Amino acid sequence: MSKRHRTRPGDPPKQPEAACVMDAFSNPLFRLGYGSQSPLEATEYPLTRLTGNYALLNSLYRDNWVVQNVVGIIPDDMTKKWFTVTGQASPERLRELERVQAATALRESVNEGLRWGRLYGGAAGLIVIKGQEWAMDRPLDPSAVLPGSFQGLYILDRWCGITPEGGLVYDGRGRMEPEYYTVSGEGGAAVARIHHSWIVRFIGRELPCLERAAELYWGESEVEALYQDMVKHDNVSANMAALTFRANVDTMEVQNLDQLFSLASGEAQRRFWRTMQAQSVMQSNFGTRLVNKGDQVHNTQYTFTGLKEVYEAMCLDLAGASRIPMTKLFGRSPEGMNATGESDLRNYYDYVDSLRESKLRPILERLLPILCMSAWGAAPDGLEITFPPLWTPKADEVAKIARDKADTVISAFQAGLMNADTAQRELRKLEGETGLFGSITDGEIDANAGKTYQDVTAMADPFAGLTSPVTG
């Protein structure tokens, strides 16, 4: 044996060389698995970027009611109960803030921006402040907003003349956004250069980094994600409607029909066709048909069994793609025993709540200091935005929630875990959830500042806890 192949007893065994192994399932005889001519193997998912097709999106929105519902239902629910401001502000000042919002149609503008953001993948709201139109190329200073100067939001979708420029900055929430925007007129000429602080952004579906850059840092249209399911739904619906015209089909047996078409003259064939057309015109559900003696007429009725289930499946797919339950998307009541749709609506409202936090809250927090400066002339610290719950429980559920939470607060107060003023504040927080305890005023809370349960009970009964002396 040569030295090349000689091994010593202590040497480790030689490892086999690496080889390319395909261990996927394959059965070419039955066209199954890897490398077979299976329809599943031929499936591809090409990158279409439907969001960039402005004409198609417009056509779908204007002609298709399902697309209109997909685009508009969620923004309507996001802004339906709007928001409330909590903090060190009197009820009168809060009413002033609401009057500014009503005068500038802020809720309607935000709803419009959310709609076009969902349809086109992106929209922008231009903050309009009277007297500062010339300074939009500079950072917006909320402290420089004069009382009554906020005019509202001017909504522009991504295709109507607002274009992001190349530079990127952080938006304060860990995301990048364009630093400047160019606003163009009707002829396409640039009319203004806007700093990003004057812009509130309405984004569609989120995209990964490279795709976001391809969409000029906008998002994806909601229509793109459900386009294929919408095509299937519309085709199934149209075919079901077309089948109704074939619910009753008449068939007539004609003697020597083959000879008529092969041997008869052209004039005879034309007379035959005119006769058939006249029969078709005159026939109705209440009419009669004239035939030659010996000819036979048969009526074939089409049954629609199973079509409803097919249509329901298409609707379910479309509802899942849009993340809107069928009860809201199609305006239909659920079917089946004990079917109320309540669980679907609860899950849907949870989803809308998440959208309010992720998409609506940054917009409102950007606008709140401007609203305060326009309404009050100052923007105090400590103001918070809260969203009322979308799901409205039943009366007995509200009563139980109020009772249980009030008992918890009272028990903590009686145990000495909180003072009377803190307990009253906790009770007043329940107003948004239960509609109760909202009448507790700041004066009543201040009057009980620092008082414990023993202090309150002693004032109500000076002899509480005392016993009368024993007399012999």
**Domain residue limits, the chain:** 50-226, 248-301, 395-460
Bridge-based pairing state of the strands 296-301 and 122-129: unpaired
Report, as an integer, the average pLDDT of 61-82. 95
Q: What is the DSSP string of 363-429?
A: HHHHHHHHHHHHHHS---TT-EEE---SS---HHHHHHHHHHHHHHHHHHHHTTSS-HHHHHHHHHT
pLDDT value at 396 more than 50: yes
- Report whether 28 contacts 35 (CB < 8 A): yes
Indicate the pLDDT class of residue 190, thresholds 50, 70 and 90.
confident
pLDDT value at 174 more than 60: yes
Q: Which residues contact 253 (CB under 8 A, 6 or more apart)?
A: 295, 296, 297, 298
Q: What is the DSSP letter of 205?
A: B
Nearest CA to 219 among 306, 285, 124, 312?
A: 124
Q: How many CB atoms lie within 10 A of CB 391?
A: 12
Question: Which pLDDT score is estimated for 337?
Answer: 45
Question: Which pLDDT score is estimated for 450?
Answer: 85
Q: What is the DSSP letter of 440?
A: -
Nearest CA to 216 among 203, 198, 197, 226?
A: 203
Give buried/exposed letters for 326-363 (b at 16+ CB in 10 A, else e). bbbbeeeeeeeeeeebeebbeebbeebbebbeebbbbb
Secondary structure element (H or E) that encloses residue 186, with its range: none
The model's pLDDT over 305-350, given as tens digits with 9 standing for 90+, comes to: 788 888 989 999 999 999 999 889 998 776 654 455 678 888 999 9
How far apart CA 455 and CA 466 sit, in angstroms, is: 14
The residue type at 303: T
The model's pLDDT over 409-449, given as tens digits with 9 standing for 90+, comes to: 888 888 888 888 888 888 888 876 777 887 888 888 888 88
Least confident segment among 163-172, 204-213, 329-338: 329-338
Report, as an integer, the average pLDDT of 24-32. 72
Report, as an integer, the average pLDDT of 367-385. 91
- Report whether 349 contacts 80 (CB < 8 A): no
The two structure tokens encoding residue 87:
């903090």
Residue 7 has phi, psi (to 5 degrees) of -120, 150
Question: Which pLDDT score is estimated for 58?
Answer: 95
Question: Which pLDDT score is estimated for 46?
Answer: 84
The model's pLDDT over 72-118, given as tens digits with 9 standing for 90+, comes to: 999 999 999 999 998 878 888 999 999 999 999 999 999 999 999 99
3-state secondary structure of 329: helix
Question: Which pLDDT score is estimated for 110?
Answer: 97
Q: Which parts of 143-208 are beta strand (E)?
A: 150-157, 162-164, 168-170, 176-178, 180-184, 190-195, 199-203
Report, as an integer, the average pLDDT of 442-465. 73
pLDDT value at 301 more than 90: no
Question: Which pLDDT score is estimated for 173?
Answer: 73
Question: Which pLDDT score is estimated for 53?
Answer: 93
pLDDT value at 1 more than 80: no
How far apart CA 139 and CA 9 sit, in angstroms, is: 79
The two structure tokens encoding residue 232:
């299937």
Question: Which pLDDT score is estimated for 293?
Answer: 67
Bridge-based pairing state of the strands 122-129 and 26-27: unpaired
pTM of the complete model: 0.74
Q: Which residues contact 9 (CB under 8 A, 6 or more apart)?
A: none
Indicate the pLDDT class of residue 151, thresholds 50, 70 and 90.
very high
